[in-house]
Structure formats: C-alpha cells, structure tokens
Amino acid sequence: MTKHKIVLIEDEEDIADLITLQADMFGYRCLHAADGLNGFDLAAKEKPDVVILDLMLPGQNGLDVCRKMKADSRLKQVPIIMISAKSEETDVVLGLELGADDYVTKPFSPRVLFSRVKAVLRRHDAQDEATPQVSFGEFTIDVEKYLVKKRDKAIQLTLSEFGILHKLAGHPGKVLTRNQLLDALANDEAYVVDRNIDVHIAALRKKLGPSFDYIETVRGVGYRFKDE
C-alpha cells in the first residue's frame, strides 16, 4: 500500500525531527522544509496528501504560505493542519478562514497530531460523497426536508439553527470559526454578527437535549463537531 505523503513546514529542528520520526511510525512518508518559501516550493513539487504548517516561520510566515496554497490551482485542494503556540489564537482563526482544515496547539503529543491527520485525510477522501441524510448517534438530519429527528421524533429548529447544525455535522472533526458558520445563517437574521453563532449553538444544545454532546467549543476560535 502506498504511504500517504506529508509535507512538514517547521523551523524548529527538534519538533521537525519528532514529527518526521512519528510520521514514519504511524505509516506516513514525511518530507520537511524549514522555512515558508522552501515549504511552498516543496509542496508544489511533491503535491502531498496533507501539509503540516507552522505559523511562525522565517522568510514567509504560515499564513502567507496558507494563502498562497489556497490561491494555487495545484495545491488549493491539499488539506492543511496548522501548528501554533497558544498566543497565536488570532492567527489560527485567520488561518482557518483562509482555508486551513485544522490546527494543533503547541506543545502537543504526536498521537493527537496524527489523529488530526487521519481525520483530515478521511474527510478529504469523502468530501465529494454528498448525502441527503446525516446520522450521528440517535440523531438524523434530513437535508431535503430541513428536518432533524431524535430517534423517530422530529425536533423543531429555526432555519438558522438547522443550517449551523448541518454545516458542523457535514465537517466532523473540523474546526469552524464563527465567521465560517455565519454563512449557514438564514437570510432573515436581523443582526448578523459572529456572536449570533453562540446564541444559536446554545439553543441547539437546549433543544436537542442532554444526550446531544456532539458540538465542542474551541475556546477563542469557534466550534468543532465530534468525529466519531
């Protein structure tokens, strides 16, 4: 079986060595670049299955690399996982809105990082498989009927609540910022601001009941739907 290929763009040698070693142990082939410019060129040359991208890089920072990749026809479909320090929260939000798929905060365990790699690759492989229904646990979203059921009982949601739930459930494991979730709001919203999302999430949790624990709050960033 051909190994999935990772391009790692990371300037800290110790972290790069650890990720490269662990990638091999988890069954991936990892290629490394130590700065943003060479990292972009390496990704363009190798066309990897996923890029692990540090935010703070010499020459060209991770946000600029992310922006260039998403603007490049050869690379725009390649998933990106950002790695960042906790102090870079604002940059993480911007990176996700530029098109990055996920992020991991330093310090991190290799097991956590490669569980995210696995989830991103699985989502990427399945992204074209549209389905009129999404099921998780005892809940079902019927996209065509704008209906959510718990077992066989219909739950009344507003269009905005339904749109947010559907968008989150359609990207399990992926962190979505509040601004990204704004796109799922119905057009009848009187005041469209990112904090509307928090109100809708709270309403969803209340309406769907205590057994609904699928939406995780990612502090300072947004929300993630649990990847079963």
pLDDT tens digit sequence for 70-94: 999 999 889 999 998 876 778 888 9
**Is pLDDT larger for residue 37 or for residue 126?**
37
Residue 149: Cβ-neighbour burial (10 angstroms; 0-12, 13-18, 19+):
middle
pLDDT the model gives residue 191: 46
Confidence of residue 136 (pLDDT cuts 50, 70, 90): confident
133-225 placed in CATH 1.10.10.10: yes
Per-residue pLDDT at 195 exceeds 80: no
Mean pLDDT of 9-34: 95
- Lowest mean pLDDT, pick from 120-129, 156-165, 208-217: 120-129
Mean pLDDT of 111-134: 76
Question: Angle at CA 41, nearest 5°, toward 36 and 43?
Answer: 90
Question: Angle at CA 129, nearest 5°, toward 171 and 176?
Answer: 15
4-126 falls under which CATH superfamily?
Response regulator (3.40.50.2300)
31 is written with which tokens?
């290629």
Between CA 226 and CA 143 the distance in angstroms is: 19
Confidence of residue 220 (pLDDT cuts 50, 70, 90): confident
pLDDT the model gives residue 51: 97
35 is written with which tokens?
């700065």
Per-residue pLDDT at 141 exceeds 70: yes
Q: What is the model's pTM?
A: 0.76
> Which residues, in sequence order, are CB contacts of 187 under 8 Å at separation 6+?
none
Mean pLDDT of the chain: 87
Per-residue pLDDT at 188 exceeds 50: no
pLDDT the model gives residue 190: 43
Of the chain, the percentage scoring pLDDT greater than 70 comes to: 90
Domain boundaries, the chain: 4-126, 133-225
Dump pLDDT digits (tens) for 153-178: 999 888 888 889 988 988 888 899 98
**Is pLDDT larger for residue 2 or for residue 190?**
2
Per-residue pLDDT at 142 exceeds 90: no
